[in-house]
Chains A and B, each alone.
Chain A
Amino acid sequence: MHEEKIKRLHRMKKMAELGGGEDKIEAQHSKGKLTARERIDLLLDEGSFLEIDKYVTHRSDDPHAEKYYGDGVITGFGTVNGRQVFLYVYDFTILGGSLGEMAGKKVVKLMDHAIKAGAPLIGIIDSGGARIQEGVLSLDGYGDIFYRNTLASGLVPQITAMIGPCAGGAVYSPAMTDFVIMVENVGQMFVTGPEVVKEVLSQEVSFEELGGAKAHATKSGVAHFVAKNEYECMDKIKKLLSFMPQNNTEEPPILDTIDEPNRIDANLVNILPENPYEQYDIRQILTSIVDNGDFLEVHELFAENILVGFARMGGRPIGVVANQPMYLAGALDINSSNKAARFIRFCDAYNIPVVTLVDTPGYLPGTDQEHNGIIRHGSKLLFAYCEATVPKITCIIGKAYGGAYIAMGSKNLRADFNYAWPTAEIAVLGPEAAITIIHRRTLKQSTDAVATKKKLAKEFRDKFANPYIAAEKGIIDAVIDPMETRPMIIRALEALANKVETRPWKKHGNINL
């Protein structure tokens, strides 16, 4: 009886799913890029996608402006490994994925749903930017999206994948989300493109150099992850999600990892090189203590002197912050302070405990750091630790001097448990620097300054550079055998599982941005 109507629905559906048409799909494929619908198939569980606003078109009166169902963005929801997520995926085959009024409304509607439903928001960007023909209405769309990004921030996790261009103001949306993944040679982000740069500054630079995945992963820190291809991008999104809760009222999911919580590793006893000035890779310690050596590093190529990322211990997701002695001896600087501070704030927002491993000689000196504001940026790290009310466990492995000692999750920043290895050196300054100040006169009067300095430095090290002085004062809760690092941290995490810390109400603090 109503077959005709059903047939019409099927025809409409088919047409909508062709996006900009067969030839546009061909063009997308010939560039080595997948279409929006293909990407959704890769990310979501088979058959779980429910699309909304499939037949939305733009409202322009211009008869020459062709209408496309969907208007360049696909929105809907589905499951990733069984977990509910909300998606907005730009469709490059329709008007270059540009955002017009109605497309903007679609995304905003979807984001509102995600906030109300308390489920993660995932965006896949492949867009030419604002739709010039629609003028200020496009900008209006972006503005509303930015607003929703801000509203959602701290309520539901937001992950954005850049699998295509994203230029102009549009880049601010991903920038405000929690994690940005860029696909190598495909994803590009910049506020002003190479043509304008050439025109205004006479500077020649390629798309890739200016705003490709490598540039943003290593230099600007805009990209948290680089994926070699679209498959890896989807795998990264799925892996990331597995460490987070659905929203900020839930605990992150505990998985039954087979790794024994009481596993001790005697290799850790001698893992630090004999010479305290020798570099080593903190990852070796990290992969030993986390479950199955499985560590998802965030911002791997940015500010390499500090390591942040997700792992599990005893099945519980944790956020790891660790100095990396292999780069800049593990010193703190502007970029590493920013990197760690943002990461800690994300973990705090989503109930993910923070585990800190410390081996840092202090802050990087120099006019470059000072004039670019290490004072401001460094304070963010302190602020983030203090502000966080998730369980915080710190383990001092090696050096912990001065302000950097305080900044790396010290007791005063209200870390819950502070452990130290017997090799920990907690001091205001490193031995060499300290004795040049304390024994200035002795050194001046000495006949062999070099030998005296060495002797005094050794005395200083033996007397002060150990964790026991701090332990005597209760600033370190326990000096532990390196073998037992893993069980000690896991037990602490279990004890703190229901930790609650309340603070007097305020609208928000004034972190020194």
Chain B
Amino acid sequence: MEFIVGDTNEAINAEIVHSLGKDSILIKINGKEHSIKLLKSARDEFEFILDNSFHHAKILRSTTAELVVLIDGQSLQVKRHSKLTEVLEKSLSLGKVAVSQNNLTSQIPGRVVSVVANIGTSVKKGDSVVILESMKMQLGVKAHKDGTIKEMKVQQGSTVARNDIIATIE
């Protein structure tokens, strides 16, 4: 199996060689063998010894192509199937990108305090489109490109989550 950890671009090859009993397994990472002794496991949480080093890990999120692991207190994003992602991106570039390029998404979760630009308003990159409030801070969601607001997906009082689409700009 191949993984890409964090922001690095190097693929790491890893696999399970074999199980050594009910709480030990032998794995290979980039050709080098390591033994893991499992000390404790719950549904998504493990305490184990990897080559004499003690670790505590929690799998926070697990989707087909991406996992988020909290390893010894540090959160790491690990991607899988990068070769397949390359393939899929070919179709994503066939018309999908055009759609997503128009989407203005929110970088933060929050409540919409005011809608600054309405449908039909022309905006320049960097102009505030809506103002969000969260944790007593007010932040503007800024247009990511020049254009006209085609759709407004939220209204005053709406709650948005991170990566929600606020509006489309064409």
A and B touch in the complex (CB under 8 A): yes
User: Could you list which residues of chain A lie within 8 angstroms of chain B, going by C-beta atoms?
Assistant: 29-34, 38, 41-43, 46, 184-186, 228-232, 234-235, 238, 284
SS class of chain A's interface: helix, strand, loop or mixed? helix
Chain B residues positioned under 8 Å from A43 (CB to CB):
64
Cβ–Cβ < 8 Å partners of A42 in chain B: 64-65, 81, 84
B89 engages A32 (CB within 8 Å): yes
Cα distance, A238 to B90, chains bound together (Å): 25
CA distance A41 to B83 in the complex (A): 13
The docked-state distance in angstroms from the alpha carbon of A43 to that of B81 is 12
5 contacts between A and B (CB under 8 A): A33-B91, A185-B91, A186-B91, A229-B88, A238-B64
Contact of B84 among A31, A38, A46, A186 (CB under 8 A): A38
B135 at the binding interface (Cβ < 8 Å): no
State A33–B88 Cα separation when bound (angstroms): 6
Interface segment among B46-54, B92-100, B116-124: the answer is: B92-100
B63 touches A231 (CB 8 A): yes
> Residue on A with the closest CB to B65?
A231
A318 CA / B6 CA spacing, docked (Å): 37
Q: Are A32 and B92 in contact (CB under 8 A)?
A: yes
A43 to B92, CA, bound (A): 20
Contacts A32-B88, A185-B94, A235-B64 supplied; 17 other A-B pairs, CB < 8 Å = A29-B87, A30-B90, A32-B90, A32-B93, A32-B94, A34-B84, A34-B88, A38-B84, A46-B1, A184-B96, A229-B92, A229-B96, A231-B64, A231-B65, A232-B64, A235-B63, A238-B64
Distance A186 CA – B81 CA, assembled complex (angstroms): 19
Cβ contact of A29, chosen from B1, B81, B90, cutoff 8 A: B90
A29 to chain B: which residues have CB within 8 Å? 87, 90
Least distance between A43 CB and chain B CB atoms (Å): 8
Determine the distance from Cα of A465 to Cα of B137 in the docked complex, in whole angstroms.
42
Residues of chain B within 8 A of A231, CB atoms compared: 63-65, 81, 85, 88
Q: In the assembly, what is the distance between CA of A38 and CA of B93, in Å?
A: 20
Q: Which residues of B contact A234 (CB under 8 A)?
A: 64
Query: Would you give the shortest CB distance from B80 to chain A, in whole angstroms?
Result: 9
- List the A residue with the shortest CB-CB distance to B159: A284
Q: State in angstroms the CA–CA spacing of A380 and B54 once bound together.
A: 60
- Asked whether A31 lies within 8 Å of B91 as measured between CB atoms, the reply is yes
Among residues of A, the one whose C-beta sits closest to the C-beta of B66 is A231
Chain A residue nearest to B89 in the complex (CB): A32
Chain B, Cβ-Cβ closest to A234: B64
Per the bound structure, the CA–CA distance linking A184 and B92 in Å amounts to 10
User: Which of B49-87 touch A at CB < 8 Å?
Assistant: 63-65, 81, 84-85, 87
Contacts of B65 in A (CB 8 A): 42, 231
Contact among A41, A230, A235, A284 for B88, CB-based, below 8 A: A230
Interface residues of B in 133-156 (CB under 8 A from A): none
Report how far A235 CA is from B64 CA in the complex, Å: 6
- In the assembled complex, the CB of A356 is this many whole angstroms from the nearest CB of chain B, namely 24
Residues on the B chain within 8 Å of A30, using CB: 90
Q: Output the least CB separation between A468 and chain B (Å).
A: 31
Minimum CB–CB distance for A226 against chain B, Å: 12
Q: What's the minimum C-beta distance from A126 to chain B, rounded to whole angstroms?
A: 13
Question: Does B64 contact A31, Cβ atoms closer than 8 Å?
Answer: no
Whole-angstrom CA separation of A30 from B93 in the bound complex:
11
Contact residue among B90, B95, B96 (Cβ-Cβ distance under 8 Å from A31): B90
Cα of A359 to Cα of B95 in the assembled complex, Å:
39
Which residue on chain A has the smallest CB distance to residue B100? A228
Residues of B within 8 A of A284 (CB): 159
Which residues of A are found within 8 Å of B64, using beta-carbon distances?
42-43, 231-232, 234-235, 238
